[in-house]
Each structure stands twice: as structure tokens, then as C-alpha cells.
Amino acid sequence: MANSTSCHTVVSYELVEDGERLVEILKPLHACSVIAVDTETTGLDPMKDKIRLIQIAAENYPVVVIDLFKLAREKWAPLAELFQGAPIKVFQNAKFDLKFLQQAGLSVVGKLFDTMIAAQLLDAGIRSRSVSGREFHGYNLAALVKVYLGEDLSKEQQRSDWSHPSLSPAQLEYAARDAAILLRLREVMKPKLKNARLVETARLEFGCLPAIAQMELNGMLLDLSRWDDLRQELERSRDQLANGLRKQLQPALLSTQLDILGNQPALNLDSQQQVLEALQQLGVPVRNTSKLSLVPLAEEHPSVRVLLDYRKAAKAVQAFASSLPKHVHPVTGRIHPDYQQMGAATGRMSCRNPNLQQIPRDKIFRSCFIPAPGYCLVVADYSQIELRVAAELSGDRRMIEAYQNDEDLHQLTAALIAGKSLDQVEKSERQAAKAVNFGLIYAMGAKGLAEYAYNNYGVQMGLKQAETFRKRYFEAYQGIARWHGAIKRRLPREMRTMGDRLRCWQDEPKLTELLNTPVQGTAADITKAALAKLPTALQETRARLIGTVHDEILLEAPENTANRAANILQQVMEQAGHQYLRKVPVKAEVAIVRSWAEK
């Protein structure tokens, strides 16, 4: 036994390096209602690095510090049994530990509590906290201990060498302390979650942690040969657009832009100042070259259209084509992104390293994401989930009836804003109506709508046309208009989703944020409710979760169980939606495909 004093508490721990002692010391922990679990690893990559220590803390019991390097794998069974047992398991940044534990064959089953997720929920979108005049912005363990316990937690040993044959007393004390303090954090956070009416949201977030860990471990397979062909094609397209744009803009550059020899320098297409001057010389009424300013002018001025196309192509090359292969893992040959479970203040997930959620929807990009041999991709997404949530929240009669009657809402909106009958609506008008529907539920202005239509749907929409569409939309959907009006009059400093997730603002919020939070947040809750159930529901099919993009969930399933996996995925997703929406039916559309592009 050893004692360590830190954070004003004494931490008692026992180092276990023997299989027989492991059996004895873990036995009483099965009767505990709560245990805290932490790991120390040789690095941050669960595909290459290993767990050195597992620390388990329980009330009125020494922290059990287990050195896996000293224990033969066949002696790990008591650990596996405990991790699949009844106690609630408390983690800090559980996803990290769950991935390492799963790779070690020590899967964690049952109820979880993640102090990092709990802190994010309690912050409710306000990402800085002040203690004794000092600002804290992060969610690492030291920051949470300071904010919730008012104590300083040393992290000096965090970056020490955890692969060394003999760990120092300082390392062991550090490891034990990190586990023990999680129990105290949970006790402080529990009443705060209850007082903030966030217990159910916390359960939802904790419940989908295993699914997110699995998604990251499984990763997605990129066809590198096809991707390289795409990169070359995109680079050619970018260069052709650049040449065409230079021919249009170069002659328009001011004659004052001459070098010391009297020659005009080549136009730098990435120089906002040069491009702005050239456009102005061509008579384009623009004060800056932001997309918001350019999009409404693209229809009338061909040079603006070419500039936007060039920027889109250049971004595709820089952001995706050149960088994505660098993320293919050398061990697995797959891409393993990092999902931020509460990446947005609304509760929506984000993704990084790389951001697969920003992969363009174009088939040329998504066709490069393929299943492993012998497998299929099973891809399902919610049909118009944010519009359905907005219909339920606002009580808009026309919109609710359209969904209850299984009508095409985009076609209906196209007919309403164009003053046509449903059978007269053209494909291009329905595409424009998509932008109108998804943009105006958040009260976009006409200029923002025009940019949104171009960016997301490739629809050219002039400013006057956007203004007309906006006026007719709110005349047609008066329930949406009344809902907007009611929130605009109050401008509250907090909003909740239909599942009671909370978002707060320190300053007066924008109307768009107040509308976006309950809609996007409820849609996120629905997707997470589905994710939480899928690992268990899919177990017999051997299908594996490989990704999610907001309202879309991707699986990789063996060819002989793909149909079963598809049926389960659709059923689970729709049931999750019905937990939240009572009047509006929820639909998930599923497909079994050979590439992501085929959905």
C-alpha cells in the first residue's frame, strides 16, 4: 500500500502485478454501485499503442492500480468480468478509454458516467467558466477539478514515459489520484445535472458513448487509387477555371498596378484586393469578395460565377483531395476520424482529423468510400428530420398535414412559392424549394438564403427572387411564422430541445440561434438515441458502425446479413424519432450499396 496527498485528500492505492492478487482485490468491487475507471497508455493511438495501467477506484476502498505489462493476458479475465458487471463506470473522456479497452479485449458494458460530457452539458453552450477570477475554457480533468472541486490537480506525470519497465512512485500516485477524484466529481455533478433538468440528456449522451468509440475504431475504407484519379481530375479542373478567370479579370486590373519596368504583374487569384479591383473595373457592384456578397451577383455577372466555381474547385483540392490520404492509418489502411460528441452548442456532433462530415455530397467524392471485401455499406438517413422537428415544434398545420399524408414537402413548397399546381413543379423549382425549406425555418434573410441555396444545392437565386420566395414562404406556413414571431418577441437567454437538452447565452442571442437550437438539437438527440441502441441491436448481424453525418448513419455489414442489418437500422432509427415526435411521422430511408455515393 502507498499513500499520496494531493487535492487536499489522501489517496490510498495498491499496485497489482499478480494474477492471484487481481482476483482477490477485484472481487469486492462487483458489489459496488459505482466504480471509477482510468487508464494510462503508451500513446494516444489505440491501433498502435498499449494500455500500461488500469486504475479502478471505489468508495472506501484503495485504488486498484493494475500493471498490464506485468500480467499475462490469460490473467485478465477478472477485469473483463468486472467491466461487464453491474457497477456504473465513471470515466473522464470515456471514449478514449473505451477504445483502448476494447482493443485490449476488455469491452465495457453497462451504465456509464463521463465527467467531461457532464461538464459540457452543464455549460450548456457557454464554454468558459470563472473560478476566483481565472477563466477556464477546456474540459480536461485538471480544469474540471478546479471548477467543480476548487482544487489544483497536478498533471506533471501525464506525459511521462508509461512504457518504462519500472514505473516511479510519482507515476503510480498520479494514476491513482486521477481515478479516485472521478468519484468526487460525479457526486458534485449529479445534483447539478438534476437541478438543470439534464439527467435524461446525460443518460442519452452516456448511452451512445460505446457506439461512437466503435465508429472511430472501425473507421472507413478509402479507395486510394480512385481517390488519386479524382485528385488529378480536380487539379485539372481548378487550373482550367483559373486560366479562364485570369483571362476575364487580368485586362480589368487597374493600370496603376505596374511593376518598375512598366509591366503588369500576373493576377493573383487568391489576393482579395486584386480580385476586388478587377471586378470593380468590370462594373461588378461589389465592395468585398466574400461569398455572401458574390452569390447574388453570379447570375448577372459571368466573371463572378467563374470566380465562385474556381474557389469551390480550389477548396476541394486543398481541403480534401490532397489531405485525405494522409489520414489513412498505416496499421488498418482505414480512416479513423475523431468525433466530437458535443461538437456544437446545439448538441450536434462534429468530426475532425479528418472531418468526414464535410466530404462533399458529389458522387465523385463519395464513390471513393467503399466496403471491405465480402461486405456492403448500409447507409440510412432521416428524411427531412429538421423540417419534421420544426413542424412539430411550431404546430404548423399545413406542414404537419403534409407529413401525415406522406406528401413531398419540397414539391409542396415549390408549388406554393411559385404559384403553381403540384404537377406543374419542375425539378429545378423543387431543388430551389429545398433551400427555401431548410433555410427559412431558421429565419434566414434574403441574402443569406441566396448564398445558402448556392452553397448547398447549387441553385442560383437572385436577391429579388430570394426576397419573393421568403415572403411567400411565410404566407404559406403561418405556423412557422407565428413560432418565429413568438421567439423574436421574447429573445430568451436559454432554449431547450424536445428532449430537454439546454443551451444558454451570456449575451443577447441571435434569432437564428434561438430557432436553430431546438430544431437541430432535437434532430441530434434523435440520431444519438438511435446510435445508443445500434451496437446491441446489430450484434447478431456482425455489422459494424463506421460513421455518422448529422442525420445519416453508416454501417459495414457482411453481404449475407446486409438485408437484416438494413431492416434493423431503419427500425431503430424510426423508433428513436418517435420517442420525440408525436404528431409528425419519422422516416428513415436505407440502402445497401457498394459505395457511399450510391445512397
Q: What are phi and psi of 90, to 5 degrees?
A: -100, 130
Same-domain check for residues 377 and 396: no
d(CA 556, CA 207): 21
d(CA 289, CA 460): 17
- Strand duo 129-131 + 112-114: pairing: unpaired
d(CA 38, CA 305): 54
Give the CA count within 13 Å in the CB-facing half-sphere of 160.
Answer: 20
The domain boundary residue, chosen from 299, 324, 349:
324
Q: Is the predicted pLDDT of residue 490 greater than 50, yes or no?
A: yes
d(CA 531, CA 575): 12
Q: Is the predicted pLDDT of residue 68 greater than 50, yes or no?
A: yes
pLDDT band at 267 (very low <50, low <70, confident <90, very high): confident
Q: How many CB atoms lie within 10 A of CB 195?
A: 10
- pLDDT attached to residue 523: 97
- pLDDT attached to residue 3: 44
C-beta of residue 82 within 8 angstroms of C-beta of residue 107: no
Residue 348 lies in a domain: yes
Three cell numbers written together for 19: 494474477
Q: Is the predicted pLDDT of residue 457 greater than 50, yes or no?
A: yes
- pLDDT attached to residue 259: 55
The mean of the pLDDT values for the chain is: 92
Same-domain check for residues 33 and 178: yes
Q: Is the predicted pLDDT of residue 454 greater than 90, yes or no?
A: no
Domains contained in the chain, number: 4
Residue 170 lies in a domain: yes
Same-domain check for residues 311 and 370: no
Map grid coordinates 486560366 to a residue.
243
What's the CATH code of the domain at 402? 1.10.150.20
Residue 99 or residue 4, greater confidence: 99
pLDDT band at 456 (very low <50, low <70, confident <90, very high): confident
User: Considering only CA atoms, which of 385, 410, 368, 335 is closest in space to residue 598?
Assistant: 368
Q: Is the predicted pLDDT of residue 84 greater than 90, yes or no?
A: yes
Beta bridge partners of 220: 335
pLDDT band at 462 (very low <50, low <70, confident <90, very high): confident
d(CA 42, CA 166): 13
Q: Is the predicted pLDDT of residue 337 greater than 90, yes or no?
A: yes
Strand extents, DSSP E, 300-433? 338-340, 350-352, 369-370, 375-382
pLDDT band at 256 (very low <50, low <70, confident <90, very high): very low
The fraction of the chain above a pLDDT of 70, given in percent, is: 95
pLDDT band at 263 (very low <50, low <70, confident <90, very high): low
Residue 185 or residue 320, greater confidence: 185
Same-domain check for residues 75 and 138: yes
d(CA 493, CA 566): 41
> Could you give the angle at which helices 94-103 and 209-218 cross, rounded to 10 degrees?
60
Q: Is the predicted pLDDT of residue 187 greater than 90, yes or no?
A: yes
- Secondary element (H or E) of residue 251: none
The domain boundary residue, chosen from 177, 207, 237:
207
The domain boundary residue, chosen from 453, 480, 515:
515
| pLDDT, tens digit, 9 for 90 and up, residues 25-52 | 999 999 999 999 999 999 999 999 999 9
d(CA 349, CA 587): 21
Same-domain check for residues 158 and 297: no
R_g of the chain computed on alpha carbons:
28
Same-domain check for residues 199 and 283: no
Same-domain check for residues 144 and 188: yes
Q: Is the predicted pLDDT of residue 538 greater than 70, yes or no?
A: yes
Same-domain check for residues 407 and 509: yes
Residue 246 or residue 371, greater confidence: 371
d(CA 469, CA 414): 9
Q: pTM score, two decimals? A: 0.90
| Three-state secondary structure readout of 130-179 | EECCEEECCCCHHHHHHHHHCCCCCCCCCCCCCCCCCCCHHHHHHHHHHH
| pLDDT, tens digit, 9 for 90 and up, residues 127-167 | 766 555 556 568 999 999 999 999 999 888 888 999 999 99
Hey, what's the torsion of the CAs at 91, 92, 98, 101, to 10 degrees? Answer: -80
Same-domain check for residues 168 and 202: yes
Q: Is the predicted pLDDT of residue 284 greater than 50, yes or no?
A: yes
What distances in angstroms separate CA 315 from CA 272, 309, 318, one per listed residue?
15, 10, 5
Same-domain check for residues 11 and 154: yes
Q: What are phi and psi of 515, to 5 degrees?
A: -80, -40
Q: Is the predicted pLDDT of residue 295 greater than 90, yes or no?
A: no
| Three-state secondary structure readout of 545-582 | EEEEECCEEEEEEEHHHHHHHHHHHHHHHHHHHHCCCC
What distances in angstroms separate CA 151 from CA 193, 208, 445, one per listed residue?
21, 30, 48
Domain region containing 368: 337-385+522-598
- 13: DSSP letter: E
